[in-house]
């Protein structure tokens, strides 16, 4: 079986029941054995595995699992748009707008929305493009760049100065090292140290956690270290896998919640696919501003 496994193949780990699909990014061969370096196809995870533990997946198997991925994403999108309609209704009922602006939700409102802007640095080029497509579908203004995890601390300050976002996303891939027992030790993680350092650099630029909201981390990242470094939201409290789009869905809730509202953590995390096991954080104010009047042009 091992001589059939090649870089670029989509595989599952036999020992884990092929619960996650991976793309092989590299192979290291030693004598008669070898190890493969793996990147999660739908989760933000780096891993290694012996070649003999891998099984190549057929196009039909890959398609079946990708359909589940797409279904989860579509369901989250549906819930988001339903929630936005409910949120608009609450705004009308607050009486914060002048009476002439109080139109039915299904009519064209007299105000316009200015959602929070996002700067997204991602260590995975394919995931970044998928995320940018989703941001676009959700009408979230974003500047997204492929930056390897190791380089994010070096460049994050320059990107912040240039684009001045309301929300910063620092993500890519991560994972616990094999046989790790000390979950608080930053050295037990593949990439967490880079995310932590990038968060610290960002906080040098903007210390206020409501003035710059930060989401940081990937699968199994050192959640506590990221929060202590200054992130508002981070993965992963239970060191579980997170969904590729979790950062986008967390950001959406923040970008489209009023600056008048400090959001409970559970309300924000409920926007994600993985939930509280995969993402946690602190109370944070929304970034949405309303403008009036809406231009007729």
Alpha-carbon distance of 168 to 118, in angstroms, equals 6
Look at residue 159 in the predicted model and tell me its pLDDT: 98
Alpha-carbon distance of 21 to 40, in angstroms, equals 6
pTM (two decimals): 0.82
Look at residue 25 in the predicted model and tell me its pLDDT: 87
Q: SS3 for 22?
A: strand
Please report the sign of the dihedral spanned by the C-alpha atoms of residue 183, residue 186, residue 190, residue 193: positive
> Which domains are assigned to the chain?
2-57 (2.30.30), 71-291 (3.40.50.2300)
Per residue in 3-51, pLDDT tens?
578 888 889 889 888 888 888 988 888 766 788 888 887 777 778 888 8
**Percentage, residues of the chain above pLDDT 90:** 51
Please report the sign of the dihedral spanned by the C-alpha atoms of residue 85, residue 86, residue 87, residue 93: positive
Look at residue 100 in the predicted model and tell me its pLDDT: 46
The average confidence (pLDDT) of the chain is 87
Q: Looking at beta carbons, which pairs linking 76-85 to residues 24 or more positions away fall under 8 Å?
A: 76/245, 76/249, 76/271, 76/273, 77/134, 77/137, 77/138, 80/138, 80/249, 80/252, 80/271, 84/256
Look at residue 264 in the predicted model and tell me its pLDDT: 92
Q: Cis omega before residue 293 (within 30°)?
A: yes
Do 45 and 175 meet the contact criterion of CB atoms below 8 Å apart?
Answer: yes
Look at residue 295 in the predicted model and tell me its pLDDT: 80
pLDDT band at 180 (very low <50, low <70, confident <90, very high): confident
H/E element, 127? helix 125-137
pLDDT at 126 over 90: no
**What ranges make up the beta strands (E) of the chain?**
10-13, 22-30, 33-40, 46-50, 54-56, 112-114, 118-122, 142-146, 167-171, 213-216, 233-234, 262-263, 280-281, 284-285, 289-291
**Residue 270, token pair as written in the block:** 């409920």
Alpha-carbon distance of 192 to 198, in angstroms, equals 10
Look at residue 32 in the predicted model and tell me its pLDDT: 64
**DSSP strand pairing (33-40 vs 22-30):** antiparallel
Per residue in 62-104, pLDDT tens?
888 777 777 777 787 888 888 887 776 665 555 555 444 444 4
pLDDT at 181 over 60: yes
Distances, alpha carbon 155 to alpha carbons 144, 166, 189, 272, 280, in Å: 13, 17, 21, 28, 25
Name the least confident of 10-19, 208-217, 246-255: 10-19
Name the least confident of 11-15, 183-187, 255-259: 11-15
Q: Cis omega before residue 29 (within 30°)?
A: no
Helix 192-205 × helix 152-163 angle, to 10°: 30
Nearest to 99 by CA among 111, 116, 117, 114: 111
């Amino acid at each position: 079986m091992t001589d059939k496994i090649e870089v670029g193949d989509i595989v599952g780990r036999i020992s884990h029941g092929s619960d996650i699909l991976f793309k092989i990014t590299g192979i290291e061969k030693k004598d008669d054995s070898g190890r493969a370096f793996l990147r999660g196809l739908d989760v933000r995870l780096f891993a290694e595995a012996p070649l003999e533990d891998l099984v190549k997946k057929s196009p039909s198997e890959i398609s079946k699992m990708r359909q589940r991925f797409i279904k989860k994403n579509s369901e989250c999108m549906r819930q988001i748009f339903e929630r936005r309609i409910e949120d608009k209704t609450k705004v009308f009922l607050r009486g914060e707008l002048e009476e002439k602006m109080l139109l039915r939700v299904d009519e064209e409102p007299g105000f316009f929305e200015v959602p929070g802007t996002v700067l997204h640095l991602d260590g995975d080029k394919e995931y970044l493009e998928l995320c940018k497509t989703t941001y676009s579908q959700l009408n979230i203004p974003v500047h997204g760049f492929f930056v390897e995890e190791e380089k994010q601390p070096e460049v994050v300050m320059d990107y912040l100065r240039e684009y001045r976002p309301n929300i910063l996303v620092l993500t890519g891939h991560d994972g616990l090292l094999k046989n790790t027992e000390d979950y608080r030790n930053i050295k037990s993680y593949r990439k967490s140290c880079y995310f932590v350092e990038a968060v610290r650099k960002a906080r040098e630029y903007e210390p206020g956690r409501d003035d710059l909201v930060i989401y940081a981390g990937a699968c199994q990242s050192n959640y506590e270290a990221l929060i202590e470094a200054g992130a508002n939201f981070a993965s992963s409290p239970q060191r579980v896998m997170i969904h590729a789009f979790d950062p986008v869905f967390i950001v959406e809730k923040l970008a489209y919640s009023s600056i008048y509202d400090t959001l409970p953590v559970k309300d924000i995390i409920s926007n994600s696919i993985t939930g509280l096991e995969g993402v946690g954080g602190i109370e944070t104010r929304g970034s949405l501003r309303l403008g009036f009047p809406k231009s007729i042009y």
